[in-house]
Structures are given as C-alpha cells and as structure tokens.
Amino acid sequence: MPSKPAPIKKAAKKEPAKKEEEAAAPEPAPEPAPEPAPAEAEAAPAPAEAEAAPAEEAPAPPAEEPKAPTPPPPADEPTSVPLDLFVEDKNDTSVTIIWSQPENIGPSGLDGYVIEVAKDGTDDWKAVNEDLQKSCRYIIKNQTTGDRLKIRVVAVNAGGRSPELALPEAVLVKEVADRPKVRLPRFLRQRYVAYVGDKINLTIPFTGKPKPVVSWTKNGGPLDTKRVNIRSTERDSILFIRAAEREDSGVYEMSVKVEDFEDKASLTLQIVELPGPPASVKIVDTWGFNVALEWTPPTDNGNTEITGYTIQKADKKTGDWFTVLEHYHRLNATISDLIMGNTYKFRVFSENKCGISEGAAMTKEEAKILKTGIDYKPPEYKEHDFSEAPKFTTALSDRATTVGYSTKLLCSVRGSPKPKIEWMKNQMIIGDDPKFRQICVQGICSLEIRKPGNFDGGVYTCRAKNDHGEALVSCKLEVKRKFAPNCFIHHLLVSSSHLYLCFLFTFSLLITFLFFFKQSQLLQMQTRNKPVFLQSQFSSRRNEAFAASGRCWIRGRTCI
C-alpha cells in the first residue's frame, strides 16, 4: 500500500542511526486489518514501525480482536421552555433580564440560551448574543433610548430550540433612577381603629424616581371621592376623611408605579361607634332576696365586638338607678341582696371598646321581694360609764436650771370628768403668783418658772382631783449659780534677769478679790467690781493668781 512508507520515513528523521533504518525498510508490511474496522487497521502500523528501530529483536504484538458494534444513540430532544423571565434592571441603553432554567432538560443536556429581541409592533426577532449564554442572566446592550422592546429567551441543546419564553409586555428602554417603594408606617401595619365623627389624616411616605404614579383602591374597587380625599406629592400620599362614618371601614390599597416597576401596600381601616342596647331582657325567676335575669345581644354592635354588659336596678319608690354589675360577659345574671318589701325594675346596657350604649333594655315586669313573718326585737344596750379617777400618764422629771434662765415642768393627766389641776412648791400651793405660769390643755399640764433665782429650787408637785379621786406627781428642781468666766493671761514676758512680767486680763463682773503671791508671800490684794487690767512683776519661778468666781493659773518657766 502506498500509505505505509510515510509514517516510517517520518519516524526515521528522529533517530540517530539513519542507515540502519533504511536497511530495515524493505521488511514485509503487516497484514491488513479486517474490513469492518478500517480506521483501526490503518492507524495500528504507525506506532509499531516507530518502535521497531530501537528494538528489532522484539516479537510483534498479537493482533487485537474485533469489537462488537455499538447501538445507535437515542434521538435528541429539545428542553422544555425556560421559566420566570422578568426585567431585573434597565437604563437608557441596556436592559438586564433574568430567568430560571427549564424544568425538563432531557438526556441531551443544555448547551445554552439564545436571547432575541424585536421592536414593539413588529415580529422581526433578532438574536442579541453571538454565543450561547450559559448563565440565566443577560444584559441587552447598545439599545436606543425610548424604544420599546419585546424580549424572549430560547433554550438550545443538541435536540434544537426549546419553546420561546417572552415577557408579557414590551419594555421601555429608559433609565429608572429609583424603584418605587411604599414606606408604610408601623402603626398602619395593624388594624387602624377610629371613632365615628373622627377626622382621619393618614400620611404614607414612598420613594421612587422619577415621580411615581400613585393610585388608591378600597376593597378592590375605586374610592368614593365624595367621602375620601387623596393628596399626593413626590414623597408621600395623604388619605383624608373629614368626618369618619362606618361606611368608610375597609381595606385600602395604595399602589406606587414608576414605568414598569410597581409597589403596593394595604391598610385596614375600622370605624367604630357605641353599640345599641340589648335586644330584650326579662325576669326569669324571683326567690327570697334574689332575682334571675336573661337578655339577648344587641342587633348593632357598633362595628366591633361586644366586650360586656352593665346591669342596673331601681326601687319603685325612689326610681333611682344603681349599678349592680359592670363589665359582665354572660347573657344571664343573678341579682342578690335585695331589700324585703321593695319592688324592683332592671335594665341592661351593652359595652364595646367605644364605651357603654346610650340606651338600655328594660324589663317589662317588676320583681317584688315579699316580706316574711319575722318579729324583730332590737337588743338592749347598756350605756358605758366613762367615769374615771385622775391618773397621770406622764410623770414630772427632775430638772436643773441656771439662775436667770426660765424653765418648764411638764406632765400629762387623764380623768373623767375633767380633773382640777393645782401646783405646789414644797407642799405650798403656788396659786396666782405672777412668777409662775400655769397651763393645762387637753390633759397636758405645764408650769413655767420665769427667771428663777437661788431660792426657787425645791420639790414641785402637781395635784389633779375630781369627784372620783385625786393623784399627785412630784419632781425636784435644782437652781445653779452663775459663775464668772475664768481669767486668762494676756501675755507673758521674760527678761534676761529671770524676772516674769505678767499681764492678767478678765471681763468678769463678779470678781471681788485679787491676790498676788511671791515666794508664798502675799504681795498685793485688790478688790474690784469691774473689768480689770493688772500688771505685776515676779522673780519667783512659779506663781498663781486666784479669783473669787474661778481660778486663773499663771505659770512661768525659765527660758534660758
């Protein structure tokens, strides 16, 4: 065969012994391979001849056994349609889309996606990606601002193209600076409750650029502009109701839209008022001092649940109503502790979160509490005797005072009838002496001694007596003399000749004698009845001075 020498020459250029390979070239070629596998037979001699040069003596490998023919592969099928295609973002020149892979891919796998666009109003679809898109996100670039594009995505594999997935509406190629977002306040995320007649002014802020288009609906339908006013700005929208009515209750939905982007928020408004009275009330039974009542719920609950009932009673004689039960939750009650012989009527009010109903349901019949044959005899009470002999609850205490300073003696006494109080000094009745002031108020007795002298000390006694007896209490009063202040040394000088020069200065008015000593000898004695300033010299190492109202010690020591 002419194709056999080619691989032999190609392998001979790479070996160093060129002549030996040329001598080995005339060897007979291997037998041709079987015809069912011609490709394998032609490729087998090339590596065998290349390895013959370095190992000429190696035996030739045995021929391979033929393989069984493989079954034909199954026919390829395209995938199912891609899922969830929508616009993620866009600007003046591009549109970003994302989608999800097909639900059924099949045995052929998924090679990629083809994104196709066409202008709105035409069917001229063109692919915008040159190569298959592997991911589920693609940016369609180089578009004209203001164009409306129809966009679709096709999945591709060995079986071909899948069904197309297109956007429901054409996309406007224009930049969106800010997506719309409703910022619903926290208190509006729950049910908003207002009373009938209240003014409602709710502000809901939002964001979005350019200016979003705001729309409102109530219970899925349009608003009644005669009842509800809407005022919108670039930042918020205001829902205003001048005087709320129960018909204004419902679910209000606010929609904010910027081109192809939209955000919604809803709030529930509940307008409530006072409930109506119970439908009916009746007396079921009467026994002893008790009456059993039953009633039915009101037909008008005020647009909110009933929280309880208030039951009142009225005596037929007076007609005054009194509350017997409040915030009662059942539809029947027993009224007890009624008065024998009286005839009663009853009425029931309804309650909700707004308050108690204006009207009440009243019983048509009356309940009479019958008298029983009991002869009541009031018990006899003996009047208590409060008579009591005088008794001191707080005794007098011994006191000490100074001449010229007023003082008081205090004690307390009780008794019925009110006892008469007498003060005595040393067993002598004081009487109306102006030096003493006697006061007795609410059983508190006091004796004030005004500026006592040296002779006002002694034993003081307080005596209380009435028709049932008398009582005494005593104390001792000590009056102390007033002493003049001590003298003090004004200053002391020491000379070089060991002489002491002492200046004695005092303000006492009671000093009568002054003594000066020198070596236990009296040097001088003076009598004074006014402040004195004395000067004297001593040569002794120690001296003392004495005052009648106190002592003044003058001490000196050698300083050299």
pLDDT in tens, 138-147: 999 988 888 9
Reduced to 3 states (helix: H, G, I; strand: E, B; else coil), residue 190 is coil
Contact assessment for residue 259 and residue 279, using Cβ atoms and an 8 Å cutoff:
no
What are the boundaries of each domain within the chain? Answer: 83-172, 178-272, 281-368, 388-480, 488-552
Look up the CATH architecture of domain 178-272: Sandwich (2.60)
Topology classification of domain 388-480: Immunoglobulin-like (2.60.40)
91 vs 228: which has the higher pLDDT = 228
Contact assessment for residue 298 and residue 306, using Cβ atoms and an 8 Å cutoff:
yes
For the chain, how many helices (H) and strands (E)?
4, 42
d(CA 66, CA 36) in angstroms, rounded, equals 8
Reduced to 3 states (helix: H, G, I; strand: E, B; else coil), residue 151 is strand
Q: Is the pLDDT of residue 454 over 60?
A: yes
d(CA 33, CA 47) in angstroms, rounded, equals 15
Contact assessment for residue 137 and residue 113, using Cβ atoms and an 8 Å cutoff:
no
Topology classification of domain 83-172: Immunoglobulin-like (2.60.40)
Q: What is the pLDDT of residue 323?
A: 94
Q: Is the pTM of this model over 0.85?
A: no
Contact assessment for residue 209 and residue 186, using Cβ atoms and an 8 Å cutoff:
no
Look up the CATH architecture of domain 281-368: Sandwich (2.60)
545-553 average pLDDT score? 38
Model confidence band, residue 378 (pLDDT cutoffs 50, 70, 90): confident
- Rg of the chain's alpha carbons, rounded to an integer? 63
* The two structure tokens encoding residue 318: 């007076």
pLDDT tens profile 266-319: 999 999 999 999 999 999 999 888 999 999 999 999 999 999 999 999 998 898
Asked whether this chain's domains 83-172 and 281-368 adopt the same fold, the reply is yes
